[in-house]
Each structure stands twice: as structure tokens, then as C-alpha cells.
Chain A
Amino acid sequence: MPIQSERGYVITAQNSDTVDYVACANQLAGSIRHFHPDAEICLLTNAEEYDCDLFNYHKTFAFPLSDNPYANDWQVFGASPFRQTIKLEADMVIASAIDHWWTMFEHRDVVISTGARNFYDQPADSRFYRKVFDTNHLPDVYNAITYWRVSQTAQEFFRLVRKIFEHWTSYKTLLKFPDETASTDLVYAMAAQIMSPERVTMPFATYPRMVHMKRYMIPTQTHDWTKELVWESNPLRINTVAQWGAVHYHLKDWRND
């Protein structure tokens, strides 16, 4: 997609048999609009029909590597209509104003968020989901929030991401105890390590903040945190704790509880 605007949010929503990610993307776009009514938001989806009222730009996107839905991630670089893009994963909501993110990001070419927090706004200590990262001394990146500006660094990064996805069988031999299938976070971490983490991450920055609601990060007794925690919307509070930044709710149908 040609550059059509200076700054904006890109949400990718690749529907699967079980999850309607476009519905998640709508929810996310609505939460951004709540704080930033004038925000430019672009939806990239493989769905043929969808409600696109909340999006300034939208595109049905033919993700070519459909066998592994994660492997399509590198394509967002070329698909974004913005000169500066914040890519957000669809299964999140924004719980506070996030326009200050741009202030810090605009000095960088690429920023991948690092570290996750629990809903108490404390760093999530559990390394349960990050064993392969720790074993291989990879940066603790989360692709759920990724910023880039159109630049040589960003181009280099996404080329590398593409290369790793497409040659995963070779790249995974570089890792101890690698996953069979390439996950976006792991691929981003490898690309960041190859390019040097300080070029594409800001590990000591206080934002972007992401609350991750996975079981061992919160932690809860079960995978389904909605059975355990009380949540309120407008503003989003979980067990009476007000949430800030992005909340990765992890359970796609959490609002149906």
C-alpha cells in the first residue's frame, strides 16, 4: 500500500476457524478511538467481509504463507499506509491514552516492545512462556506492539524476519530447544539479536506497556482468568486495578463472560 499518512496504527486480523480476529480488531480500534478519536487506524485482514466503520484504511490482504499464520507477519511492513506505524496485535485493548508513545518512538527506526506486565502493573516475573528465549539469551521481545518508520533499518529488520520465517528449518538449528513452528516473537527476537537489540528495542523505557493476561504471568489458578478475576470496563479495571497502556487479554471471547 502506498504511503497515505504520516502516523497510524495497523491491526492485523487473520481469521482462523475458531477465532474471529476481525471482531477483536474492531474492539481494539474502538478502544483506540475512545482515547484518540482522530487516530488513523488501518485493518489488514484475510476476511472477505467485515465491518470497517472504525478504520480509516482497510485492506483484504492475501497472506501467501497460509500454512503458518504467524509467518505472514513480515508483510505488514509493505502493507502499512503510514510513514510511521505502530502495529498492534488484534487481541488487545487499549486502556489509556497512548499518543505519548509516538513521542519516544519517533526518534527511532524500529521499536519492538520488551517485557510484559501483570495486571497489577508489575513486571511479569514468570519465564514459563519464555524458556527458549532465556536458554538462547534472546531479547525478551513482544511483537504485539511494534513501531517502525519507513527506513533502511526497518527494511533490513523485516527482510530478516521474512528470511527467518521462510528458512526456519535452517535458522532453528542455531537455537537450543527451538520450537518446531516459528512464532513471531521468537523470530523477532532472533532478528533483533542478529541486528543487535539496541537498534530495535528499548528495554529500559517505561513504555510501551503491555499487560499480558496469560495464566502464569498474572498468575491465576486456571487458564481462563475471566472465571477468577473481576473486570470492569470504561475505564478497564481488573480486580479493581485500573489498567494502562495495552492489555493483551489472550482469551478471545472474554467479554462474553
Chain B
Amino acid sequence: MTEEEFLGFWKDIQWPEPKPVYYRLYHNDVGEPLFYSHEDLPGKHIDITPEQFASQDHSVKVIDGKLVRQRQTRITKLIPSKSGTLCHTNDVTVVVAQQPGQYWKKKQNVVDTN
């Protein structure tokens, strides 16, 4: 190869268009994450930052098109039941010894606090 051919090669070469790099989180209809992907695939998705992509966090939710870290908390509350503590029919604060009354027991709910 001559110097002329060498320079001509670099002058004429057509570089392929660089493929866009996607940083995407695909999610379902209610905003729960399905998978992270660099590919352009069918389905609902949002574009995210490389840092968010790198974290591959599945404790997130898509709310109004934004990635929101899903925060959950456990809340314990009393609910009417067939067993538990017998209380007055109309007042949960009054514990009674015998029927008529209403049993109440504790229930734990795990809820999103976003």
C-alpha cells in the first residue's frame, strides 16, 4: 500500500452510523418494572440515566413517566374478626368479658408510601 492509497482510504471510508445506546426500563400498565434493556423493544418504557440503569433496581415504580424509588412501610391496624379480643359491639376501646361483642385482631399491611 502506497502512502497515497493509505491516505485515500482514510479520506473515503464511510463509517457506519453509531447505533444509539438506549437506557430503558420497560414496565407494565401500572408502572411496575419488568426489565432493564439497551434494546429498542415493543412495550411501555421510560428512558433512564446510565446510573439508574447500572443500579438495575427493581424496587422502583414508574409514576407519571418518572422513575420513583418504591418505599414501603408496614402498618399494623385492628380489623373486625372471628377471633381475637372481644370488644363492645359499637366501641373497639371497650374490652368486654362475654358476648354480645365484636372480636378484633391485628392485621399487618405492607403499603407503598410513594
**B-binding residues in A (CB < 8 A):** 221-222, 224, 227-230, 232, 234-235, 237, 240, 257
Contacts and interface: CB of A to CB of B under 8 A. Distances in A.
A224 B110 CA distance: 11
Contacts of B113: 221-222
B72 to A, nearest CB: 10
Interface string B18-36: 0000000000000000000
A234 B91 CA distance: 10
A227 B93 contact: no
Contact of A227 (B78, B90, B92, B111): B111
Interface in B76-114: 77-79, 90-93, 109, 111-113
Interface in B6-58: none
5 contacts: A221-B75, A222-B111, A227-B77, A228-B77, A230-B79
Contacts of A227: 75, 77, 109, 111
Contact of A222 (B78, B79, B90, B112): B112
B2 interface: no
A232 B91 contact: yes
Nearest to B75: A228
B78 A230 contact: yes
Contacts of A232: 90-92
A224 B77 contact: no
A229 B75 CA distance: 9
The 6 tightest CB contacts between A and B, nearest first, are A227-B109, A222-B111, A230-B78, A221-B113, A227-B111, A228-B75
Nearest to B76: A228
B73 A221 contact: yes
A240 B104 CA distance: 13
Contact of A221 (B79, B90, B111): B111
B57 to A, nearest CB: 21
Contacts of B75: 221-222, 227-228
A228 B73 CA distance: 11
Most buried by B among A222, A234, A237, A257: A222
A234 B92 CA distance: 12
A256 to B, nearest CB: 12
A224 B90 contact: no
Contacts of A257: 79
Contacts of A224: 111
Contacts of A230: 77-79, 92
A51 B33 CA distance: 42
Contacts of A237: 91-92
Contact of B93 (A221, A229, A240): A240
Nearest to A227: B109
Contacts of B92: 230, 232, 237, 240
A93 to B, nearest CB: 16
A229 B111 contact: no
A179 to B, nearest CB: 15
